[in-house]
Amino acid sequence: MSRERIDEIQAARERLRGIAHVTPIATSRTLDERAGGPVFLKCENLQRVGAFKIRGAYNALSLIPPERRAAGVLTFSSGNHAQGIALAGRLLGISTTVVMPLGAPASKKAATLGYGARVVEFDPATTNREEFAAGLPEAQTATIVPPYDHLDVIAGQGTVALEMMVEQTGPLDLLLVPCGGGGLLSGSAIAARAVAPGCQVIGIEPELADDATRSFRTGTLQTVHNPPTIADGTRTPSLGKHTFPLVLEYAAGMETVSEEEIKAAVRFLFYRLKLVVEPSGALGVAALLAGKIDGAGRKVGVILSGGNIDGATMAAILLEGE
């Protein structure tokens, strides 16, 4: 393993002190029984902006040279990265523009605007977001900080697992990580290998957005176009040029869960642990509850990556369970 990669995550951890919350660990005896061993939930749903994304966003923006900051930052995101970039920009005095798909959760759009970003919407059914962003005037001068395929973003996301295993739970045997574009999964897997070499890191994604799983199993980059999953944070078209090789090198595996299994996990977290977790953030718990992952006799960690779910979606999921 490249020593430089874990050094970058450790450096990001220092930059984030006093900026990102040290999010708590939650446990559930019922979940332990279902999994067959102790399960520790890393509550990034209680992070600033309601998701882990502030970690990578702030780390990346803080590393922009002073002479480049006046030109601002441009990104594209359905919500959580958008909020992270917007807040990091406000904290660092950097203007931010976010390209966001039509139909993105209203709560995420409102929060992004509330943090001071400019939001430009596009139609994901007809337009590629990267190409759309490249056509904006800001693209000529601004620093582009994508949601996941950026080494400084990956290093920031890796602080979740580093913080968890160094400061809270100790080494784990297994760590389940939601996967969209692979930034959180890549960073977590790098951190885990450095601090707990025996820990297997497995990415979890929806069956309807299984591009990373197919990519991992075939060794060839696979794509998916605008997948209709309720886990909106995983609607990325593919792993990236940085995250794909990192996932292949550091992750131990990939698994998928159905839409019904995702909703069941959201309900379980709400009713049993009193935690509001968005569908993308509940993927690891979904895999455990559905028996997709065998946790028997192992010390298991699960990253709850975010809690930004609008009221209508949460109400529909809860009512469906009744």
List the one residue out of 273, 276, 282, 286 whose CA is nearest residue 310. Answer: 276
From the list 181, 274, 193, 287, the residue with the least C-alpha distance to 227 is 181
Q: How far is CA 154 from CA 87, 99, 185, in A?
A: 18, 20, 9
Q: Among the options 186, 188, 215, 305, which is catalytic?
A: 305
Catalytic residue among 42, 53, 109, 299: 53
Reported as half-sphere exposure (CB side, CA atoms, 13 A), residue 320 has a value of 16
Beta strand 200-206 with 300-304 is unpaired
Report whether 203 contacts 212 (CB < 8 A): yes
Q: Which residues of 98-131 are buried (b: 16+ CB within 10 A; e: fewer)?
A: bbbbeebbebbbebbbebebbbeebebeeeebee
Q: How far is CA 307 from CA 46, 157, 275, in A?
A: 7, 16, 8
186 a catalytic residue: no
Strands 39-43 and 73-76: unpaired
CA distance 63 to 139: 19
Distance of alpha carbon 66 from its chain centroid, rounded? 28
Catalytic-residue membership of 107: no
Start-to-end Cα distance in the chain: 48
| Triad 252, 258, 264: Cα angle to 5° | 105
Which positions are annotated as active-site residues? 53, 305
